[in-house]
Amino acid sequence: MEQTDLKDLDAKIYVAGHKGMVGSAIERALIKQGYTNIIKRTSKQLDLTDKLEVDHFFATYKPDYVFLAAAKVGGIMANNTYPADFLVQNINIQTNVIHASMVNKVKKLLFLGSSCIYPKLAPQPIKEEYLLTGALEATNDAYAIAKICGIKMCQAYARQYGVNYINAMPTNLYGKNDNYHLENSHVLPALIRKIHEAKHAGTPEVTVWGTGTPKREFLYADDLAEACVHLMKVYNSSEIVNIGTGEDLTIKELATTISKTLEYDGNLIFDVSKPDGTPRKLLDVSRIKNTGWEPKVELEKGVFLAYQDYLEQIDYPKIAVDSKSLCA
């Protein structure tokens, strides 16, 4: 495989999904590092599920590098309710962008997958080689299968055409531009909204899905973005790379941390009739750490920053804070 690392600050870089949490974080990271030629299109301007539109876009703009962060995403309820949408839309997006990148000689592409690609009962922490060694978590298997297809596409194109397509598998993400919908969001942003609303309504308790015992790892989106740009500079293998913190906590501990951050003193009630999902999902992050990358934002600071973002989204006054107290 030809090494085509991202070095030229004037290179044409297409960030697919730049309006989302991950894509917007990648855009911020690129701008911060001095990249000046970032190509962006909203979903209204470019439907990535439409092959003809994607082919025309790539043929017209000829990007040098592609960050494939566009995807249909959601939490347990959304994945359970719309499995066909998660499967078909994600496969279409990936197929169109990956193939158009090859046809138009993109120098390097980074495909963003998810830690849900790994078996439900994988040994912990989860190493990259555990992919396809066991059954998936049933509540989000459609999304996971779509992401596995994306990985295998990148590897197949690398093998057949010699292209430099790399695969990054982030753990659970949160941060600026997250989705705080109570039914379609992931657990951390959903808890931020639930606890905020309970606090300001004077509600004495908040209901949390499941037993509270599953353990999860959480990574701030801007840390992920820095990792992605780093990999585009130094990593040249289609073998997948986990991106995470290497640390996890229970959902109960997460809810308690959010309650403390939001200064909510009500009770947390766990609805055991609701699904827990995978019992534990901690990534082995040795591979990316060996390339020289480390996360910077600790959970408490990240939750505060995410809460500030939520307040901005609902047009609610932000909390004044001494910035020194947020140093990681």
Q: pLDDT for 158-215, tens place per residue?
A: 999 999 999 999 999 999 999 998 877 889 999 999 999 999 999 999 999 999 999 9
Check which CATH number belongs to the domain holding 58 and give it.
3.40.50.720
197: in domain: no
> Can you tell me the mean pLDDT for 268-284?
92
Predicted local confidence at residue 317, as pLDDT: 76
Instruction: Please tell me which residue, 79 or 44, carries the higher pLDDT value.
Output: 44
> Does the pLDDT at position 326 exceed 80?
no
* Total count of domains within the chain: 1
Q: Edge-to-edge strand order for the sheet containing 108-112?
A: 38-39, 13-16, 65-68, 108-112, 165-170, 241-243
Spatial CA neighbour of 183 closest among 70, 71, 113, 80: 80
**Percentage of the chain surpassing pLDDT 90?**
85
Task: Name residues whose C-beta falls within 8 Å of residue 19's C-beta, 6 or more positions apart in sequence.
Answer: 42, 43, 177
| Residues contributing to the annotated binding site for NADP(+) | 17-23, 112-115, 147, 170-173, 186
154: in domain: yes
210: in domain: no
How far is Cα of residue 140 from the mean position of the Cα atoms in its chain? 15
Please tell me whether the overall predicted TM-score, pTM, comes out greater than 0.85 for this model.
yes
98: in domain: yes
Which residue segment(s) compose the domain that 143 sits in?
13-174+218-246+282-297
What number of CA atoms fall less than 13 Å from residue 245's CA on the CB side?
19
| Residues contributing to the annotated binding site | 17-23, 112-115, 147, 170-173, 186, 194, 209, 216, 276
| Residues designated catalytic | 143
Query: Which uninterrupted H or E stretch holds 174?
Result: strand 172-174
72: in domain: yes
288: in domain: yes
| Residues contributing to the annotated binding site for substrate | 194, 209, 216, 276
Radius of gyration of the chain, Cα coordinates, nearest whole angstrom: 20
328: in domain: no
Spatial CA neighbour of 243 closest among 168, 188, 176, 186: 168
148: in domain: yes
